[in-house]
Amino acid sequence: MRKTLLAIALLSASSAYAYEANCKLDNGKELSISVVNKVMIVDHKWKVFFKNKVRWNNSFLYENKGYKYSVGEFDSSSFPIAVTNKYKSSTITGNCHFK
């Protein structure tokens, strides 16, 4: 029983995927994002859930009721982001830097 619990704990720990970043959007607004196990937290309060990986441009799509976040390919210190407001049908792009 203990070996089974230890194996489960190790597998869940190894599947943890996490990063934090500060983002500056082209309209001058700034966001703070953190991602842990496919859940993005925006500005320490809004949860946005992983939807899928877009293979043709290697981006990751997160979505909630009002917004869609498309996170582009990572380089050593930054990555692009696009934020779509579903109510206004507008998209703002920007760049994020890892904390």
Tokens 């990986």 map to which residue?
53
pLDDT for the residue numbered 56: 78
pLDDT for the residue numbered 54: 86
List of residues 6+ apart from 47 with CB closer than 8 A: 39, 40, 41, 64
Mean pLDDT in runs of 10 for the chain (99 residues)?
Answer: 40 62 97 94 94 87 95 92 94 96
Output the pTM of the full model: 0.79
pLDDT for the residue numbered 8: 42
pLDDT for the residue numbered 58: 85
pLDDT for the residue numbered 11: 40
